Structure formats: structure tokens, C-alpha cells
Structure 1
């Protein structure tokens, strides 16, 4: 990220090495929520795999699944919303869909 010049755009970075248990356990999401100082109710996870979706849901978060060519045939039904791309929806519309507000 530093090489791409985007590191400063992130308030918090966590990876698998920062937590005891990998996805589908919620440890990574819980660590990020803690780092950002937000509750699961105030966050939305974007995931591409069943393990990622399960981790987000176990952390109490809402989750958008955007499968890739490898995960497209896997069960992502635990996600609150499935899209083919974030380009398919505006941020305003995504937040409306995820929070249930018009």
C-alpha cells in the first residue's frame, strides 16, 4: 500500500498475523472494529468468500458478498446482500439497503 501511495488513506490495518484465529472466526473483524472504535452495528463488511462472510456475521456485522471467479459458485447465502461489483451500486443506495432506510 505504501508503494501504491494509498497507505495514508487507511485509519486501521489488520491482517491474519494480528489475530489468534483465522476466518471464519470473527477475530479479525473484532480487532478492526476495536481499532476503529466502532460497533459491529455501525459497520459493513465487504467479503468474497464463505469464510469471510461467516467471520463478519459472527462478529455481528452486516455483510456484502462480492464473489470472485473462484468463489462465485460457493454458498454466500449468509451475506445480507450479494453484488457482482461495488460499481453496481452507489454508496448512498448501499447504505440504504443495508440499514433499511429510504
Structure 2
């Protein structure tokens, strides 16, 4: 939602501040959730799964900086939210496909 607001309504500073705040609130818990999902999906190999996650996270941050710099040089900062919206498509597909492994529904026992 924040990327769409930034893509469509970035002329107003107040809207940009609100979108960036929304982005930060939405993104803030992602590392913890991803660590939990990797541990749950890894089962007995949870340590290896989390090590792979940390490695891929760092590669993604470095790659994002490189691609972002190239994108900024070629198309300017207004291209960032549109690029994020395009990248969300495969990310959402992975999220839906991995839902049952990383975040399985848990049945809780009721206590009286």
C-alpha cells in the first residue's frame, strides 16, 4: 500500500511522510517473522535454514543497493515505487506458495 501511495501521490510531502511511516511499520517486523518462518520450515535443520536466510538477506540488501543506484542513475527516484510494485508480484507468489510451510495454521488446545 505504501509503495502504491508513493507511486501515485508523491507530490504531497505529508502523504510521502505518511507512506514512509506506513512502510516502516509494515516492514519493521519482517526480519523476526522471516526468522520464525525459516526455523519452523527447517524443522530439525532450523539452524541451517536460518543461516541461509541471513546470508540471502545480506545479499538482497547489497543487491538492492546496487540495483537501486543503477535505477536511480537511469530513471530517477520516481521509478522506485513502481519498481517495488513490480517486485511485489513474485514476492506475493512466493509468500502464498510458502504459507503452509513457513506459517502453518496451528491448532491450540482449549483450556477450561
Q: Which has the higher strand share?
A: 1
TM-score between the two structures when normalised by the length of structure 1: 0.24
Structure with greater helix share of residues: 2
Larger Rg: 2
Higher relative contact order (CA 8 A, sep 6+): 2
